[in-house]
Amino acid sequence: MAGGIANNSTEPVNDMNNSAFLINPVVPCVEAELLHAFESIPTAHISDVMGRLPGAFGLHAYHGSGKLVGTALTVKTRPGDNLMVHHALDIASRGHVIVVDGGADLGRALVGEIMTLYAKRRGIAGFVIDGAVRDVLEFARHDFPCYARGHTHRGPYKDGPGQINVPVVVAGMVVNPGDLIVGDADGVVAVPIAEANAVLQQAILKASSERKQMLAIEAGTLDRSWVQQTIKEREAIFG
């Protein structure tokens, strides 16, 4: 069939009120000032101040360079199917990050060069995909942020079902619609918007502390007594 694969699904793909095609309202984007503040914050610092618990595992950066900072617009799709990803591209606002729970399936690519060009045209901030992408060389040539679990030349189905703006799990990371998404060379983290200001301030303090340590290393004055102290404390606990 031209333009796609015949729909053999028994699901009512034209019923957008069906739970299999749940589409919740788009969450407004995070304020520009807060996004700008996070542009200089490494994901490692964010992870550290959030107890080293959040963050995606097993995703790879496919873009050439560039920091990802934006607001999560979440998509949960049947593995190998990108119909709802296409719909998300159409309803997203400038600054949204398309975060896709593709079930970690690597059998078919959920996005590629054409969808990326369309996303850039619409001002979308980037992709975070627990699934596969394709047109890898094109991603590498540009700075449009794209994090994915893997890649394949095989294209997707476009049948559905799927859901938009629901809580998803992406590479072990829980993401809610409207979360602040930050990605860099170390990976991707999601920050609940209610915690974003507190996380920002703690991350700034973390950066200041690390700068002091680096200066102490250069000056030869770094205090490393904590290592032996910690060993003694652990010995007392474990016998």
Q: Determine the Cα–Cα distance for residues 34 and 193; give it in Å rounded to an integer.
A: 10
Instruction: Specify whether 111 is located in the same domain as 46.
Output: yes
**What is the per-residue pLDDT for 229?**
92
181/220 same-domain check: no
Number of domain units in the chain = 2
* 148 lies in some domain: yes
Report yes or no on 9 lying in a domain.
no
Which pLDDT does position 3 carry in this prediction? 35
- One domain, residues 137 and 223: no
Asked, for residue 62, whether it belongs to a domain, the answer is yes
Do 186 and 206 fall within a single domain?
no
Residue 168: its pLDDT value, please?
Answer: 97
Pair 208, 185 in one domain:
no
- Answer yes or no: is 2 within a domain: no
The CA-atom distances, in angstroms, between 43 and each of 10, 18, 76 are: 42, 37, 24
User: Do 210 and 176 share a domain, yes or no?
Assistant: no
pLDDT for residue 53: 82
pLDDT at 2: 33
Q: Is 165 found in the same domain as 96?
A: yes
Task: Say yes or no: 206 and 129 in one domain.
Answer: no
148 shares its domain with 206: no
Closest CA to 12 of 163, 157, 160, 166: 160
Which residues span the domain enclosing 129? 19-193
Give a yes or no: residue 10 inside a domain.
no
Residues 80 and 171 in one domain: yes
Q: Would you give per-residue pLDDT tens digits along the chain (239 residues)?
A: 333 333 333 333 334 445 889 999 999 999 999 999 999 999 999 999 999 887 899 999 999 888 999 999 999 999 999 999 999 999 999 999 999 999 999 999 999 999 999 999 999 999 999 999 999 999 999 899 999 999 999 999 999 999 999 999 999 999 999 999 999 999 999 999 999 999 999 999 999 999 999 999 999 999 999 999 999 989 888 86
Residue 91 domain-assigned (yes or no)? yes
Residue 73 belongs to domain with CATH number: 3.50.30.40
Helices (H), 67-224: 83-91, 113-121, 136-141, 196-219
The verdict on pTM exceeding 0.85 is yes
Q: Is residue 101 part of a domain?
A: yes
Residue 8 belongs to a domain? no
User: How many Å apart are CA 78 and CA 143, to the nearest integer?
Assistant: 28
Instruction: Give me the pLDDT at residue 236, please.
Output: 86
Residues 85 and 165 in one domain: yes
Asked if residue 96 and residue 55 are part of one domain, the reply reads yes
The helix, strand and coil proportions of the chain, stated in percent and rounded to the nearest 5, come to 35, 25, 40
